[in-house]
Structure 1
């Protein structure tokens, strides 16, 4: 029995017994047909079902390598491998054709998208002009203090909103900010003078005597909700023509990318961000290189 005949039988079974959607049948069928086409070239002839049982891990990896050579990314190859595994399980259950080698093949991992930073000018505009979204002086001061802190210290939005009144970095002190990040891990972050000044303006308009009270408050006097801060930036970016990836977390990416661009040590950036692994921080080197190439393409007369 040819493997192609088995593929057609499998698709009929998927449609009738599993009630698979038409699009699923089309996608799975195409992916496995591509694999069988590769085997025809790889083995020098159209494979039968016996050949499926004799395939080695090296054969499967050669197929994945061939897919990569066709510029199919990890996510696409992982999807095709999943379809093939489903097909081979059917071959084992219905025809007794078992192949343990497929279990030795690792699923390609989809690459994490690179952090998307803002330009220096865009990040400065957010930090200094975000208050324009509101017409209330207290909210203007709060949002300016918050976003200046996010960009100036590289904080996650949850870290900034978790600060207490006692944590407020104020003028007249050069004490660093103590931040509690993921997993309850504490780190020390220096604070820019401009961030201290913006913080003082916010506190002057919304004084809190209770040291344990939230530093950033919403309109109802409770801890500021992250969704409100995100909406403020969403409104600001649309009013000012900033890119859609201008989010509170993009300011953290911008903090790291801009430090790296100015020659900061990668290990120091790791400590400032609170990353447990240096490999996480190393993603910013790719961002910086990508921005460098984009600058070159825009500026070089022969690019």
Structure 2
């Protein structure tokens, strides 16, 4: 019989189960600690989740055991969890639509954490109050190092990326992926261009300028020792790990906003590995370094590079 605990979260009551279950076996990090982290990080994480259709990676038996992606909200989801029914072109389960959950509040965040949803992934666009897709409000560059390159090489590439963005009137905000790479977010609300087209043009420009460091093509044979700038994450059908999400690594690491000073100074990949406690401390000190990308920005449309 699963241990069950009734808790009040805001104005909702939830039933949480198996709170003592260890989800990160190498570190003894339990489901209760996962829920505690998401509860405490919620003030800065929720602005990045609100309005975005949710995909989660669930690990009911913990990291290292079988997991599954979940887009369609579970059948037992409480009625108060916001849902957006959206088209599902190319669905692997031959569905015409998917009922996505949308994490707009703390009770919904805790509900999914209680399902052992360790990782939260969201697209670069939101839905309106009626559940209809809105234009993208973020452009993202996903920097993926090909071994033996690491996040240190990603940081060097990110600095070059920042300069190109600034040359074209755009500002980038970096975060770690919580795995081996990093992302740079660019606020996009109010711009007329397609972010996929602009991101591709920027990636190809940088790959042409620095072919010894950067690739913009997806072929894995091109990547060893270089950084792949994955511009395709701007495809509306794709998602990127949400800021402040845990990652299902042997240790509980977090996709963490970082400063450009940290990007410039990085000499060792270990400098940019952050645990939940690290991240909570950083937020207490700095607030949300990605806040400008969480709030829709108004800006005049400009021509891309």
TM-score (normalised: structure 2)? 0.20
**Structure that is richer in strand per residue:** 2
The answer to which structure, 1 or 2, has the higher relative contact order (CA under 8 A, 6+ apart) is 2
* Higher Cα radius of gyration: 1
